[in-house]
Amino acid sequence: MKQLDAKFIISAEKLSQCPDFVLPEFPLLGRSNVGKSSFINALANNKKLAKTSNTPGKTRLINFFNFSEEFMIADLPGYGYAKVSKEAQNTWQKYLEEYLLNRKQIKTLIQFVDARHEVQKNDIQMREWVNAYNLPIITIATKIDYVPRGKVNQVLANIKKTFKGDVLPFSATDRFYCEKTIEYLLNLCQ
């Protein structure tokens, strides 16, 4: 299995604080607790690289991770749940929009959806926003190991029908799809 050495670089609140790298960058979009941090840890084969939590809304900054000088992953705050004021949420939204629309290193956005459930309303709203700006995006279906094997293709087809474009299955628990995901990201970097 292809193994990438990954390390945490920096956290940033807004675009002006982002690291000055030339590596292709993949921002992770998704609801709180959809598995973005677990995805980073699984790709890196390091359970302690990105902090995971059972409490939604813990990620409050853009956290940058360098994968073997091949690409950067930017873990963004989850949408849909956070015990913070409306004012704080509005500030996050403003900063994240500025980052997503103006960061030149962004190669492709990666939106995460939980394969155990139907695509949620806020997932669809996020995709509509991304499509309105014509930003490149793929979808990762997380927690695929919870889906019965006989239903995996149907679940992936339903997500693809909703979102169009590429949908990759992923399980942070058994790392079964890690190698294919790494290959996919490396191909996007070409």
Tens of pLDDT, residues 39-61: 999 999 998 998 876 555 555 78
Query: Rounded mean pLDDT of 107-135?
Result: 95
Question: Under 8 Å CB-to-CB from 31, ≥6 apart: which residues?
Answer: 56, 78, 79, 80, 81, 112, 114, 120, 122, 123
Instruction: Give pLDDT, residue 175.
Output: 85
Q: Tell me the pLDDT band of 133, cut-offs 50, 70 and 90.
A: very high
pTM of this structure? 0.93
Backbone angles phi, psi at 80, to 5 degrees: 100, -20
Please give the average per-residue pLDDT across 81-88, as a whole number: 64
- 18: which 2 tokens? 């982002």
What Rg value do the Cα atoms of the chain yield, rounded? Answer: 16
Share of the chain above pLDDT 90, in %: 75
pLDDT at 51: 82
Residue 116 has pLDDT above 70, yes or no: yes
Q: Which of 131, 135, 136, 153 is nearest to 144 (CA)?
A: 153
Calpha distance 29→137 (Å, rounded): 10
Please tell me the predicted confidence (pLDDT) of residue 60: 74
